[in-house]
Amino acid sequence: MLDFRIKTFLSVCKYMNYTQASKELNITQPAVSQHIHFLEKEYNSKFFYQVGKKIFLTENGKIFYEKMNQINNDEQLLFRHLSNDNNKISSISFGVTMTIGEYIIANPVSKYISKHSDTNFKIHFGNTAELLKSLENGSIAFALVEGYFDVKKYDTLLFSSEEFIPVCCSTHIFDKKPEYLKDLFSERLLVREPGSGTRNILERMLSLGNYTTDDFAKFIQVENMHTIIQLLLKDCGISFLYKAAVIREIENKSLMPIQLKDFAIKHNFTFLWPKNSTFSHEIKDICQELIDYSR
């Protein structure tokens, strides 16, 4: 069990504010300061520095936070694991990005639970940025994401490599047949919100040609892939998304890929979890089984 002073340190890191930490822990602000001073003396390191009224983590503070937060998350996983063992029911809590959750994950999960009927699943939806935050605070054990992340922070396992394509309604009429990416800039772009994996990939691809989403004449920003597909079907614009999300619509010819000479990309869907987690082996086994069931 983590020392109560470590809990205080993690709470201060959560809010970067001594007053907020004291309220969360229901202790006085001087007590919070005493706990932090004790830890800094114990580890012979300064963990925070102040600029004006704001506090920030030092480099040693960042290292200490990363390690203590991981131990705290593992402790929560251990508690749930032991509780599940007593009840003879296992529980798996993980996160998926919106596209994966809506179009990819149901099949492997259904096959997994058919073999492990005593398993409870808690599947959380969010964009890549939100899921990385959930991993950091320990509310999920692992995530399956499509966006970019810091590979130094996580252990990973490749789920699949998916085509990322421009697409439009099959009845869409272009003023001029597009051959290059810039030929689409006169179109209305249907795009996910900032922080989503799908948008991150598009923005990085555009940046290779010194373009941005602002180069498109008009746009509609939507926080849901299903709605984007419905707008595509009603010919409200063009979009860039994973082929797996619209394979049915492409096959029935209600949507069509836009063939460009300078746009061809595949991107990985990746399982990830905090590096050096006590439960890395168990998490990896679950992820591998889900990968096997997706094939």
What total number of domains does the chain contain? 3
pLDDT tens readout for residues 154-207: 999 999 999 999 999 999 999 999 999 999 999 999 999 988 888 989 999 999
| CATH code at position 12 | 1.10.10.10
CATH number of residue 194's parent domain: 3.40.190.10
Question: b vs e for 251-265, b when ≥16 Cβ sit within 10 Å of the residue's Cβ?
Answer: eeeebbebebeebee
- In the chain, which residue ranges form alpha helices assigned H by DSSP? 4-15, 18-25, 29-42, 59-87, 98-103, 106-115, 128-137, 197-207, 225-233, 243-251, 280-293
Domain of 47 in residue numbering reads as 4-68
Residue 273, pLDDT above cutoff 60? yes
Amino acid in the structure at residue 135: L
Same domain, 63 and 93: no
Q: What is the pLDDT of residues 233-270, one digit of tens each?
A: 999 999 999 999 999 999 999 999 999 999 989 999 99
pTM for this predicted structure: 0.69
**Do 181 and 121 have their domain in common?**
no
47/80 same-domain check: no
Identity of the residue numbered 181: L
Q: Please tell me whether residues 261 and 237 are part of one structural domain.
A: yes
- Of 25, 43, 68, which closes a domain? 68
Pull the structure tokens for residue 179: 């051959």
Our CA dihedral for 178, 182, 188, 194, rounded to 10 degrees, sits at 130
